[in-house]
Amino acid sequence: MPILRDLHQLTDAERGGAVAIGNFDGVHQGHLRIVKLLLERARKVGGPAIVLTFDPHPVRILRPDECPPPLTWTERKAELLAAHGVDKIIAYPTDEQLLGLSAKQFFEKIVCESLAARAMVEGPNFFFGHNREGDVELLGKLTSEAGISLDVVKPYELDGQLVSSSRVRRLIAEGQVALAAQMLSAPYRIRGMVTHGAGRGSKLGFATANLEAVDTLLPKTGVYAGRAWVNSSPHAAAISLGPNPTFGQTQLKVEVHLIDYDESLYGQPLEVEFVNGCAGLLRLRAKKSWWSN
């Protein structure tokens, strides 16, 4: 789905629907709960279901030292949201002008004028406007005055704990990718460019794609079972994260071994998703049971 970045390019058919605004980082089960109700409200008002997110995350501009690494890049976020029925994804460019808008100005300029929203769906922790001065209570007052319906969706819980991007981020950082996948709408995925490595993997019987320029959170160092996506086709893979101290290397490396795949990937982008932790590459070659999970 094409990502819209300029609100002036919205057509009349893309206005007057139901809107959800937020970062949607990771597109987890809590986000899907919002999306489900968003689709219902869009059908009710006879307009599109629109998600407006921000690129980059506002914290990256306001407090760059405090900005955590993202769970999803913008195109992946749009792909996941579209797969669950969202009609239009807007990645609004975050700049000083946007961040300087008061809550009321943001509501009038973005929600009313640009989107002509007739319904809004948000989570309870939604904040908007300069210094996050607007919350769902103020949003309720503004939507009521503007004749726009508002639904505030309860958070999603798993095993008695709230599902949030922060919680997913902690699990990924700890290497608990299988548990994180239960909270996400799809297994955790990263992307990067395949570069030339030292060539040791092929000599040892493990042809390896070395991945660089990864722009999202990396799991804890270790070896994982997963899938590598080549030209939109999945291939069973083992992913190794960490240095190669055996060969005197200390820099963190991301190495992806595509099982039973021997074509060159150098210079190509590669997306890799994590399914579970794994004891080692040799066992993966002998047993591929994770592939059908």
Q: What is the pLDDT, as a whole number, of residue 178?
A: 96
Q: pLDDT digit string (tens) for 182-203?
A: 999 999 999 999 998 645 444 4
User: What CATH number has the domain spanning 187-292?
Assistant: 2.40.30.30
Give the residue with greater pLDDT, 279 vs 180: 180
Domain assignments of the chain as residue spans, ordered by start: 3-158, 187-292
- State the average pLDDT over residues 164-185: 96
If you average pLDDT over residues 274-278, what whole number do you get? 87
pLDDT of amino acid 57: 87
Distance CA 117, CA 111 (A): 6
pLDDT at 244: 61
User: What is the H or E stretch that residue 138 is in?
Assistant: helix 136-146
Report the b/e string of 42-52 with b at 16+ CB within 10 A. Answer: beebebbbbbb
Mean pLDDT over each residue of the chain, to the nearest integer? 89
**Over 50: is that where the pLDDT of 280 sits?**
no
pLDDT for residue 289 is more than 90? no
pLDDT at residue number 200: 46
Range scoring the smallest mean pLDDT among 4-13, 75-84, 169-178, 201-210: 201-210
d(C-alpha 283, C-alpha 280), whole Å:
6
Do 3-158 and 187-292 fold alike per CATH?
no
- Residue 3 CA, chain-centre distance (Å), reads 14
Contact 17, 49 (CB under 8 A): yes
pLDDT tens, position by position, 53-70: 999 988 888 888 888 999
Q: Do strands 149-152 and 157-158 pair parallel, antiparallel, or not at all (unpaired)?
A: unpaired
Q: What is the DSSP string of 35-86?
A: HHHHHHHHHHHTS-EEEEEEES-HHHHH-GGGPPPPSS-HHHHHHHHHHTT-
162: which strand partners? 157
Nearest to 276 by CA among 204, 209, 223: 223
- Residue 172 CA to residue 152 CA, distance in Å, equals 28
> Counting Cβ atoms within 10 Å, is residue 245 exposed (0-12), middle (13-18) or buried (19+)?
exposed
DSSP 167-235: HHHHHHHTT-HHHHHHHBSS-EEEEEEEE---SHHHHTT---EEEE---SPPPPSEEEEEEEEETTEEE
**pLDDT tens profile 107-146:** 999 999 999 999 999 999 999 999 999 999 999 999 999 9
User: 3-158 has which CATH code?
Assistant: 3.40.50.620
According to the model, what pLDDT value does residue 287 have? 46
Q: Contact at 8 Å (CB) between 35 and 83?
A: no
